[in-house]
Chain A
Amino acid sequence: MQDIAARRRAVVTVALCAGVAVLTLVSLGVGPVKLSPVAVLEALFGGGSEVQRIIVQDIRLPRAILGLAIGAILGLSGAALQGLLRNPLASPSLFGAPQAAAFGAVLVIALGGIDVRSFMLPVAAITAAFVSVFVLLAIAGRNASLLILILAGLAISSLAGAATSLTMNLSRNPFAALEIAFWLLGSLEDRSFRHVALALPFIVAGAAILMSRRHAFRALSLGEESARSLGVDVGRLRLWAILGVALGVGGAVAVAGAIGFIGLVAPHLMRPLIGYDPARLMVPSALTGAALLLAADVAVRLIPSTSDIKVGVLTALIGVPFFLYLIVRERRALGGGLA
């Protein structure tokens, strides 16, 4: 039995890696300027005309890298939070972490004199994300019911979204409306390697922290008491998890805005295939998150529209019905919380 499960996990992981690789290539191949797959590959490795190289290397490659990295860290954060809280509805976006991070970034911009490509932006976003998740977990307490988590998360994300809009409106920027749309809905359009350099170190650090705690999450799935008896310091684990999520989500939001629901959906898609072990769920969830965001970002470019569709719109269109389905499935637990 063990053997069959392990083989299945390996097959799923390999398939996911292949899927992510294919989607990355598709992401490089899709854009307003039609380039053949051969031309794209040539340009990627330094061939082709200068224009082709610029399009593939400077415009599409950073976008694909960010889609992959941000999707992965969102999936990983979702899996980590679900493991930490032993709660299938935990995810960064339901906790308002991306919205809070966007507020942090926008606040720094509105205070003025800051280039949006400076490291101040991710630092502010990470700080705000950390505060929001910390406050949420403090409000929810140790053994939070689903209902309390969802309500508190809703409150924080609404507040952060409103604060983001207001900050933009109060700034002297006359183009506030368009900027607000970017920060609240998220977009990977026309990102560059400067954005990659800005976000990637934090995303990698966040991922490393979360991955290093995976065995503690597994121990925690047996219950807090058992975890303690296995030597897990639950209080410190919480802090590490919050820090990891904040670093990853804050770094991502600082360059791409608040992209929601990847962290909620990805672990759920993997659970039937991988099982319920939080530690084993993390890498497949990250890969699924990467695949989801890359696919959404390809779709945004393929759907014919007169103005650019924000990628966060698409992830919400997929994520919200999924969330509702989860609520229906967890209705008993939620109802129990009410009674």
Chain B
Amino acid sequence: MPPVTWLHRPCKAIPACIARSSGGFVAAVLMLILGIGVQAQAADLPRVASINVCTDQLLLTLADPAQIVGLSPYARDAARSWAAAEARTYRRLSGEAEDLLTLKPDVVVAALYMKRATRELLKRQGMRVAEFDIARSIDDVKEQIRRMGDLVRHPDRAEAQVARLDAAIARARQAVARKRYRVLALSRRGWVSGDDSITSALLSITGLSNAAAGLGSQSSGFATLEAIVADRPDFILISDGRDVAEDEGSALLLHPALEKLYPPSRRLVIPEDLTVCGGPMLSEALDRLVAELKRVGG
């Protein structure tokens, strides 16, 4: 990382900054000159570790690199982690309690619905654990961005991200679909995103309706192939447009019954890393959804 970029991102300790820099000597001199003031500011900022792929994304977007103690193992999964490339430069945590206890971050951010035993153990050890629930609406997402912003003490960055998201929403509302098409967001093994999901929120912003309701379920859940075919939504929204089934779960989406009714012109494709979490990537997801609607002529 060149020195110029990290100068405005204060490091917590001078040796750590030197170690991080590739410019070695120049960096060290610069740090000696500027260091004292920066360090005083940086020492106040909390160091944060994340053990969930969604909190990883929020942390990477909002915190200074030096604030990030480590990220969850899935942070590097290019298929599901939006900031996978960036995540590679940080420590890969096991996601369990041991390394966190030795690294002693000021805060551990985790999902509310996973790794309960780990979270409780950390709390018993006196660690501060901030839990983030699944974001189910755009409001949830904004709230989570702001909460993480406060947590890493960069509320200004959080507001900028919220504004970016609002701008994307405004863009998508203008490019609204010609008709209120029924779209079924379908994942592996027939998992359907219900009304209480981010995907559903994205659909309604672009003037589409979630077809999950037609399958007799308001909330997310598994739908059978037969029920999908019988209900026959206008489009299906999937995360992978390729004709490759990596495992039996994803083979379902390439079942001939679905391929007959849903050729590529009836499939909206948004990569999984844009929809799996609620976070700053949603503005990209919205742009992508609008582009896909254009592609299929909706």
- Residues of chain A whose beta carbon lies under 8 Å from any beta carbon of chain B: 31-33, 51, 54-55, 58-60, 109, 115-117, 172-175, 178-179, 182, 190, 192-194, 307-308
Given the interface pairs A31-B226, A55-B226, A307-B222, the reply to whether A192 lies near B257 with Cβ below 8 Å is: yes
Given the interface pairs A55-B226, A174-B80, the reply to whether A115 lies near B257 with Cβ below 8 Å is: no
Digitize B197-226: 1 where CB-to-A-CB distance is under 8 Å, 0 elsewhere. Answer: 000000000000000000000000010111
A163 shortest CB reach to chain B, Å: 17
Closest chain A residue to B245 by CB distance?
A116
Top 6 nearest A-B pairs by Cβ distance?
Answer: A58-B257, A32-B224, A33-B226, A33-B230, A116-B245, A32-B226
Among the listed B226, B244, B249, B254, which residue makes an inter-chain contact with A59, where contact means beta carbons less than 8 Å apart? B226
Given the interface pairs A32-B224, A51-B229, A54-B229, the reply to whether A179 lies near B255 with Cβ below 8 Å is: no
Does B44 make an interface contact (CB < 8 A)?
A: no
A329 shortest CB reach to chain B, Å: 38
Cross-chain contact A116 with B260 (CB below 8 angstroms): no
Cross-chain contact A174 with B245 (CB below 8 angstroms): no
Residues from chain A with Cβ under 8 Å of B222 in the complex: 307-308
Cross-chain contact A51 with B232 (CB below 8 angstroms): yes
CA distance A175 to B257 in the complex (A): 24
Does B101 make an interface contact (CB < 8 A)?
A: no
CA distance A216 to B186 in the complex (A): 53
Cross-chain contact B229 with A175 (CB below 8 angstroms): no
Residues from chain B with Cβ under 8 Å of A178 in the complex: 189, 249
Cross-chain contact B249 with A32 (CB below 8 angstroms): no
Residues from chain A with Cβ under 8 Å of B82 in the complex: none
Cross-chain contact B227 with A179 (CB below 8 angstroms): no
Among the listed B230, B244, B246, B254, which residue makes an inter-chain contact with A55, where contact means beta carbons less than 8 Å apart? B230
Cross-chain contact A190 with B225 (CB below 8 angstroms): yes
Closest chain A residue to B232 by CB distance?
A51
Does B256 make an interface contact (CB < 8 A)?
A: yes
Among the listed A59, A109, A117, which residue makes an inter-chain contact with B225, where contact means beta carbons less than 8 Å apart? A59
Closest chain A residue to B80 by CB distance?
A174
Residues from chain B with Cβ under 8 Å of A308 in the complex: 222
Given the interface pairs A59-B229, A190-B225, the reply to whether A182 lies near B248 with Cβ below 8 Å is: yes
Cross-chain contact A190 with B245 (CB below 8 angstroms): no
Does B251 make an interface contact (CB < 8 A)?
A: yes
State the majority secondary structure of interface residues on B. Answer: helix
B254 shortest CB reach to chain A, Å: 8
Digitize B232-270: 1 where CB-to-A-CB distance is under 8 Å, 0 elsewhere. Answer: 100000000000111111011011110011000000000
Cross-chain contact B248 with A116 (CB below 8 angstroms): yes
B248 shortest CB reach to chain A, Å: 5
- Residues of chain B whose beta carbon lies under 8 Å from any beta carbon of chain A: 74, 77, 80, 188-190, 222, 224-227, 229-230, 232, 244-249, 251-252, 254-257, 260-261
A235 shortest CB reach to chain B, Å: 38
CA distance A74 to B246 in the complex (A): 27
Given the interface pairs A54-B260, A58-B256, A194-B256, the reply to whether A175 lies near B249 with Cβ below 8 Å is: yes
CA distance A101 to B229 in the complex (A): 33
Most chain A beta-carbon neighbours within 10 Å: one of B227, B248, B254, B255: B248
Most chain A beta-carbon neighbours within 10 Å: one of B74, B224, B226, B227: B226
CA distance A116 to B252 in the complex (A): 11
Closest chain B residue to A105 by CB distance?
B248
Residues from chain A with Cβ under 8 Å of B80 in the complex: 174
Among the listed A55, A109, A192, which residue makes an inter-chain contact with B256, where contact means beta carbons less than 8 Å apart? A192
Closest chain B residue to A58 by CB distance?
B257
Q: List 25 A-B contacts (CB under 8 A).
A: A31-B224, A32-B224, A33-B229, A51-B232, A54-B257, A55-B226, A55-B230, A59-B225, A59-B226, A59-B255, A109-B247, A116-B247, A116-B248, A117-B245, A172-B77, A173-B247, A174-B77, A174-B80, A178-B249, A179-B248, A190-B252, A190-B255, A192-B257, A194-B256, A307-B222
A196 shortest CB reach to chain B, Å: 11
Most chain B beta-carbon neighbours within 10 Å: one of A173, A190, A308: A190
CA distance A172 to B260 in the complex (A): 31
Cross-chain contact B251 with A116 (CB below 8 angstroms): yes
Closest chain A residue to B227 by CB distance?
A32
Residues from chain A with Cβ under 8 Å of B227 in the complex: 32-33
Residues from chain B with Cβ under 8 Å of A192 in the complex: 255-257
Residues from chain A with Cβ under 8 Å of B256 in the complex: 58, 192-194
CA distance A136 to B247 in the complex (A): 30
Given contacts A32-B224, A115-B245, 16 further A-B contacts (CB under 8 A): A31-B226, A54-B257, A55-B226, A55-B230, A58-B256, A58-B260, A59-B226, A60-B226, A109-B247, A116-B245, A117-B254, A173-B247, A174-B74, A179-B249, A190-B190, A190-B252
CA distance A172 to B74 in the complex (A): 10
Among the listed B247, B252, B261, which residue makes an inter-chain contact with A179, where contact means beta carbons less than 8 Å apart? B247
A32 shortest CB reach to chain B, Å: 4
Residues from chain A with Cβ under 8 Å of B226 in the complex: 31-33, 55, 59-60
A258 shortest CB reach to chain B, Å: 13
Residues from chain B with Cβ under 8 Å of A115 in the complex: 244-246
Closest chain B residue to A182 by CB distance?
B248
B115 shortest CB reach to chain A, Å: 14
CA distance A188 to B74 in the complex (A): 31
Residues from chain B with Cβ under 8 Å of A174 in the complex: 74, 77, 80
CA distance A178 to B229 in the complex (A): 23
CA distance A109 to B251 in the complex (A): 12
Residues from chain A with Cβ under 8 Å of B251 in the complex: 116-117
B51 shortest CB reach to chain A, Å: 15
CA distance A32 to B224 in the complex (A): 7
